[in-house]
Amino acid sequence: MSIVVEVRNLRKCFGQNEVLKNVDFTVNRGEVVSIIGASGSGKSTLLRCINLMEWPTSGQILFHGQNVLEPKYDANHYRTKLGMVFQQFNLFSNMTALENCMVGQTKVLGKPKAEARAIAMSHLERVGMAQFINARPRQLSGGQQQRVAIARALSMEPEALLFDEPTSALDPEMVGEVLVVIDELAHSGMTMLIVTHEMQFCKEAAHRVAFMDEGVIAEMGTPEEIFNNPRNERTRAFLSRVRN
C-alpha cells in the first residue's frame, strides 16, 4: 500500500493555545480513516492543517513523500489533489450547482468547458443531484447542498477527500442521505479522511479509526479495536460518553 499523506510531529498553536501536539499519522491509498474525539480535541484543526487551511506551527506534512510545508512547494496545486468537504457546505452562493462543480475545473485545472461539464454532471449524478444543476445553493436543503459540495470536491478528481464533520450542520432527517453518498464513496476505493461524530457510520465504513484527545492521537486502530476493545482509558471514557 502506498502512502498518500503522512503527517510527522505536527504542532499547531493558536497564540498560547497548543491545539495539536506532535501528531503523527499516515493515510494509505484507498483507505478510509476516521478521526473521532471530543470537541476541542484538535480533529478539525488536524484536517485543516493537512490541506493547509491552517498553517502548522511546526512538523511535516508529506504528500507522496514531499513536504508540502516547504516554501517552494505549490500549495494551490496540492490542494487540487485533496478535496475538502466542509461542515457548512460552503457552496459558492453566486453559482448554480453545476457551476459550483465546474469552476474549479475550468479556472484552476484549465479544462475546456464541455469536458468540465461532463465531469461535473457525472459526479452530480453520482450524488443524486443531477436534477438540480440549475439550482442555487440557497434554494437547496442542507442535505442537497452537502451532496453538491461532495460532487464539487469529486469534480476536481482528487487523490483523497477530506471531510470535516460533513453531517454536523444537518437536520437529523438529512444526515442519512449524505452518509449514503459518503458510504458509497468509501466502498469505491476512494482515499478518505473523515472527521465525524457519527460513530455508527465510522464503525461500518472506516478501515481505521483515530481517537484524538487534547491535541494528540490517543489511540488508533481498526473500528473493531477502537469501539469494542479500546485500550486507552480516555478512549473508553469518550465512547461511553457518546453512547449515552
Partner 1 sequence: MPTTFFPAVWYILENYGSWFLRGAGITMLIALTGTVIGFIIGLGVGVVRTIPAPRGGKFSLKKILLKLSNILLNIYIEVFRGTPMMVQAMVIYFGLSEAIGVNLSPLTAGIIIVSINTGAYMAEVVRGGIQSIDKGQTEAARSIGMNHTKTMLHVILPQAIRNILPATGNEFVINIKDTSVLNVISVVELYFQTKSVRGALFKTYEVFLITAAIYFVLTFTVTRLLRLVEKKMDGPSGYTIFTSSTMPQGRLLRGRRGKETAV
Binding mask 103-142 for partner 1 (x = CB under 8 A): xx--xxx---------------x-xx-xxxxxxx--x-x-
One-letter amino acid of 156: M
Pick from 53, 62, 216, 239: which binds partner 1 (CB under 8 A)? 53
**CA–centroid distance for 131 within its chain:** 25
Q: Is residue 14 a contact point for partner 1 (CB under 8 A)? A: no
Residues whose CB is less than 8 angstroms from the CB of residue 201 and which lie 6 or more positions away in sequence, other chains included: 179, 182, 183
Of the candidates 127, 120, 78, the residue with the CA atom closest to the CA atom of residue 95: 120
Least distance in angstroms from the C-beta of 121 to partner 1: 10
Instruction: Please tell me the distance from the alpha carbon of residue 21 to that of residue 177, in angstroms, as a whole number.
Output: 35
Q: Is residue 83 a contact point for partner 1 (CB under 8 A)? A: yes
Q: Is residue 193 a contact point for partner 1 (CB under 8 A)? A: no
Helices (H), the chain: 43-50, 75-81, 97-107, 113-126, 142-155, 172-186, 199-205, 223, 233-243
Q: Which is nearer to partner 1, 7 or 133 (CB)?
A: 133
Pick from 12, 147, 208, 234: which binds partner 1 (CB under 8 A)? 147
Instruction: Please tell me the distance from the alpha carbon of residue 108 to that of residue 2, in angstroms, as a whole number.
Output: 27
Which residues make up the interface to partner 1 (CB under 8 A)? Answer: 51, 53, 55, 71, 76-77, 79-80, 82-84, 86, 88-94, 96, 103-104, 107-109, 125, 127-128, 130-136, 139, 141, 143-144, 147, 149, 152-153, 156, 173-174, 176-177, 180-181
